[in-house]
Amino acid sequence: MAGETPNYEDIISCFPNPANSSKSVGCIFDMVHMLKLWRNLIASCENIKWEGGNVSWKYIVRVYHLQDHEKFVAANKLGRYHIDYKKHKMKAKYAAQVFSISVADTIDFCRMDLNLEEFQGSEATSNFLRKLDQCFDILNSKNPAQFGNKGPLNAENFAQKSAFLPEFSQSILCMTYDEKRTRKGVVDIKTKLICTGSRKRAVLGTVVTVKSVLDTAYRMLFREESPHKYVLTYRFCQDLLELFFNKVRGRCGRNNNPNAVEFKNIMKRIWHQNLLKSTSTGNCVVRCDEGEVPGGLLPLRSRPKPQILEDVKDLSLLLPDTYGLNDTTQFYKNCLAYIAGNITRVLSQRLPCQSCVEGLLRHDLDPLRENERLLIERKQRGGLFHPCRSVYLIIEKADIILKELIKIHNGPPRVSNLDLRISQTVLKKLVGRNMFPHLSTHVLDFDAEDGESHYGTLIKAVIRQFLKIRLFDYGNRFRRSTVSLRHSLTKQIVLHRNE
C-alpha cells in the first residue's frame, strides 16, 4: 500500500461483532475532529497536491490579513483565532469555520473579481474548501427539515450523495505532500501520499467515516422491515459523551484534573441533581427554578456607566467634502454594498411603509455600480437583496464618521446619541443630492406620529441598523485584540481549590 495509490473500495471500515458473528461493527470518526486534523495538516505541511493544484494555507492567511487591514469581513467568520489556532486547538468551531464555503467564496472573489495578484493560483485551495465543506455537511446533518447538503439522508437523495462522497474520498486518497524527516541533523524531504505518511489520520479517518456512514444509512433506509424515513448523520458523533464530560468538568471548580475520589463525589452530585426534585404537594409553592436562590446570596451593585468623553461638537468636520470614491479599495466598496443589502433585508421586515421598503431595493433609476456589486453576485444563492445606490451612499458617509470617531477616542466611540447625531450630519451633507429618485415625491410625505418626513425616517433607520452591525464587529475586534494565556497554560498550571 506504500507504493500504490489505495482504492476506495479496498478500505476496510468495519469488523465482525465479537458478541454476534452475524453482525458487523462500523468504525465512524467524529467529523468535527477530522476537520481539526485537516486544519493542522494543511497549515503545517507544504506542497500539498490535490487534483492538479496546490492546497495552501497561505491563501487563508492572506484573506485574514486583507480583512484585518480593511476592517471589513467579506461575509465569513475568519478571525485571529482561526489563524493563530495553536492556542485554541481544542476549539472545533474554528476549524469548521475555516473549511467553509464562505471562505472559499472570499478567495474566489479576491482572485476572479478583484484580480488581486496575491490570490492567483488559489483555485485548488478554494475548490478543496468547497468539497470538504460539502462532505462535512452531509456527514453532520442535524435537522430533518433542512435541505441540500445539510439535509438528512433519505431514499430520494441517497443516490446523489452516495455518488459524491466516494468520489471525494478517492480524490483525497490520491493527495500527496512533502514529508520532512530529520536524521542525524540532515533534513530529508520526500513526496509521499498523505494516506501512507505520518499525517494519514485526516485522510483515512474521513474515508472510513464516509464508507461506514453510507453502509449504515443504506441498511437503515432500504431494509425490508420498517425502513427509516431519513437518517441524521449527526447522531453518529460523540457530542453527547463530550457534553457529559463538560458537565463533570463544571463540577470541578478551578480543578481541571479531579482524582478518583473527587470524580466519585461529582457523579453523586450529578445524580442527586437530576433525581431530587421538589414536590407539588408541600406547604409552599416553588416560585423559582431548582437551585436558584431568590434574590441571590449577595446584593448586586449596578455597573457604573462609562464616562462619556468630550463630544465632537460638529460631526460634519469629520466628513470632508473632498472625500471621493478613489480613496477606498474595491474590497471596501463591495463589503459596504454587501452590508447595504443586509440592511435592506432587515428593514424590509420592519418598516411599516411599503413604498419606503420598495425604495431601498435596487432600481433602474438608482442602481449600484458594476464594480460595487461583485461580492453580492458572488455570494448570491437566491436569498440576498440588491440595494439601491442611495442606501450605499448613506452608509458610506456614516462609516467615514464612525472611523474618525474611533481614531479620536482611540477605541470604541462613547458619544451621546451617536446614531441621531450621525444621522443629522449625513442629512446635512446630502442636501441638494437626488436621493431615492425612484420614490419621486413620496419621500416628502410627512408622518404626523414621528413629526418628520419619510426621507428623514428612512435615513435614520438605515444608519441605526448600520451602526449596530459595525459596532458589533468592532466590539469583537476590540475584545479579541487582547491575548489570553488561559488556553495555553491550562495544562502547565493545575489550579486546586483551597481546602
In a domain, 109, yes or no: yes
In a domain, 293, yes or no: no
Check whether residue 227 and residue 249 sit in a common domain. Answer: no
Check whether residue 222 and residue 319 sit in a common domain. Answer: no
Q: Are 53 and 124 in contact (CB under 8 A)?
A: yes
Domain boundary residue, one of 237, 261, 283: 237
Check whether residue 208 and residue 250 sit in a common domain. Answer: no
Check whether residue 233 and residue 247 sit in a common domain. Answer: no
Query: Which residue positions in the chain have pLDDT lower than 70?
Result: 1-3, 254, 272-327, 447-451, 482-499
Check whether residue 247 and residue 224 sit in a common domain. Answer: no
In a domain, 463, yes or no: yes
In a domain, 498, yes or no: no
Check whether residue 433 and residue 396 sit in a common domain. Answer: yes
The Cα angle at residue 406 between residues 401 and 412, in degrees rounded to 5 = 120
pLDDT of residue 306: 55
In a domain, 79, yes or no: yes
Q: How many CB atoms lie within 10 A of CB 51?
A: 14
pLDDT of residue 128: 96
343/338 Cα distance (integer angstroms): 9
pLDDT of residue 292: 46
Check whether residue 158 and residue 71 sit in a common domain. Answer: yes
Domain boundary residue, one of 237, 264, 294: 237
Sign of the four-CA dihedral 280, 281, 285, 289: negative
In a domain, 308, yes or no: no
3-state secondary structure the chain: CCCCCCCHHHCCCEEECCCCCCCEEECCCCHHHHHHHHHHHHHHCEEEEECCEEECCHHHHHHHHHHHHHCCCCCCCCCHHHHCHHHHCCCHHHHHHHCCHHHHHHHHHHHHHCCCHHHCCCHHHHHHHHHHHHHHHHCCCCCCCCCHHHCCEECCCHHHHHHHHHHHHHHHHCCEEEEEEEECCEEEEEEEEHHHCCCCHHHHHHHHHHHHHHHHHHHHHCCCCCCCCEECHHHHCCHHHHHHHHHHHHCCCCCCCCCHHHHHHHHHHHHHHHHCCCCCCCCCCCCCCCCCCCCCCCCCCCCCCCCCCCCCCCHHHHCCCCCCHHHCCHHHHHHHHHHHHHHHHHHCCCCCCHHHHHHHECECCECCCHHHCHHHHHHCCCCCCCECHHHHHHHHHHHHHHHHHHHHHCCCCCCCCHHHHHHHHHHHHCCCCCCCHHHCCHHHCEECCCCEEHHHHHHHHHHHHHHHHHHHHHHHHHHHCCCCCHHHHCCCCCCCCCC
Domain boundary residue, one of 237, 265, 299: 237
* b/e burial code for range 12-39 (CB count within 10 A of at least 16 → b): ebbeeeeeeeeeeebebbbbbbbbbbbb
Phi, psi of 56 (to 5 degrees): -125, 140
pLDDT of residue 342: 94
Check whether residue 32 and residue 137 sit in a common domain. Answer: yes
Check whether residue 261 and residue 341 sit in a common domain. Answer: no
N-terminal to C-terminal alpha carbon distance within the chain: 57
Domain that holds residue 249: 240-273
In a domain, 150, yes or no: yes
Check whether residue 231 and residue 253 sit in a common domain. Answer: no
Check whether residue 208 and residue 263 sit in a common domain. Answer: no
In a domain, 367, yes or no: yes
Please state the domain count of the chain.
3
Check whether residue 187 and residue 251 sit in a common domain. Answer: no
